[in-house]
Structure 1
């Protein structure tokens, strides 16, 4: 009984794939235009996330510095590095894809 279900499911999938088959180039072109449409929004979102991470990091570093904790420099460099990473990734992707 189980083999029959598997065979019927596979047959249904293959017949559906044949009926809905499309030109591969048209599908890739459509996907490319969709990705390019969201790319500018995505890079802006990455810049915004970098700004929020920077603000949170600044508050955490200030709290550690005010409390006199000894590892303030290590925490500050970690948060600063995270912000720089987000901005650099967004900029490099924007330059690489030419959007």
Structure 2
């Protein structure tokens, strides 16, 4: 009886694997092309969003640096460098990512 069950289970797994390979032989190139088009269609809005975030970071940094400069704080240049460095990093990172993937 055990030998019959073992042969039956081997046959079941063999048929199961064959059905899986038959179903997987569809048109995979079309699916990959569609996925690529979907992903690349998100880059323009994402790049514009990152540019907008960079602009907001630049404005906030400008206001903070102005407040420090007006109050006579000695480390104004350090604050300016950090805020505007962050803004430039956002813009450069968005541009480089877009050029890599598009």
TM-score by length of 2: 0.69
Q: Which residue is equivalent to 1:68?
A: 72
Larger radius of gyration: 2
Q: Which runs of 5+ in 1 are unaligned?
A: 1-17
Distance 1:79 1:23 in 2: 50
Q: What is the Cα deviation at residue 29 of structure 1?
A: 2.7
- CA drift of 1:66 comes to 0.3
Shift of 1:35: 1.0
1:30 shift after superposition: 2.6
Q: Give aligned pairs, total.
A: 80
Structure 2: gaps of 5 or more residues: 1-19
Scaled by the length of structure 1, the TM-score of the pair is 0.70
Q: CA deviation at 1:25?
A: 4.2
Q: How does 1:1-99 map to 2 (within 5 A)?
A: 24-98=28-102
Distance in 1 (alpha carbons) for counterparts of 2:61 and 2:27? 49
RMSD over aligned Cα atoms: 1.9
Distance in 2, Cα, partners of 1:65 & 1:56: 14
